Amino acid sequence: MVASPALRVVSPGSLVAVVAFPGPQGFFRPVNPFLPGSSSHGGEDYVFSLLTGYCDPPAGVSVREGLHYNPYFPGQAIGMAPPIYNEVLEFDDGTPATMSQIAKDVCTFLRWAAEPKHDHRKRMGLKMLLLGALLAPLSYYLKRHKWSVMKSRKMIYRPPK
């Protein structure tokens, strides 16, 4: 059974996806929104700018019906309405709920959610550094002890007669 091209499942980064779904720059490579650090647009800074960058279009720029002007989005017109506003929520510690604070918290959460093994990896790296710091002097001492005999040995070459 041969699948029709419309029903074929394509991985987002494959060459078939690049050819089959050309984007505005001539290629299509979807960005995972949960990995802001790996996106090609600048990581967390791009997500922060995208969330806080909604504004009225400048004079002479027209935006189609249903789109919103955002200078940080490629093409400057995005179909998503502004997702956050000032004072949309309350923080328990009394932090002012400004748009930039909420966007910063969203970006921080996305970074944390994108790397679930980050803390474990950092803890393991610290353990390896401590273990290396303990083993380096021990290996240096053993090297000096074992090779001291070889270094003090006098070797003389006596050719056969």
pTM: 0.55
Please tell me the predicted confidence (pLDDT) of residue 35: 55
Alpha helices, DSSP H, located in 6-115: 15-20, 44-52, 99-114
Three-state DSSP at 119 gives helix
pLDDT score recorded for residue 147: 84
Rounded CA separation 3/10 (Å): 12
**How confident is the model at residue 110, as a pLDDT?**
87
CA nearest to 18, candidates 28, 8, 9, 26: 28
pLDDT score at 154: 84
Sequence-ordered strand ranges (E) for the chain:
68-69, 77-78
Could you tell me which of 37, 56, 58, 55 has the C-alpha nearest to residue 47?
37
Report d(CA 74, CA 79) in Å as an integer. Answer: 12
pLDDT at 33: 53
Residue by residue, pLDDT tens for the chain (161 residues) are 444 444 444 454 444 444 554 445 444 445 555 555 554 457 788 889 889 999 999 998 888 888 999 998 888 888 888 888 888 888 899 888 899 999 999 888 888 888 888 899 999 999 999 999 999 999 999 998 888 888 888 888 999 98
Rounded to whole angstroms, what are the CA distances from 42 to 37, 76, 94, 136, 148? 7, 16, 31, 40, 56
Q: What does R_g of the chain's alpha carbons equal in angstroms?
A: 30
Phi and psi at residue 69, in whole multiples of 5°?
A: -80, 130
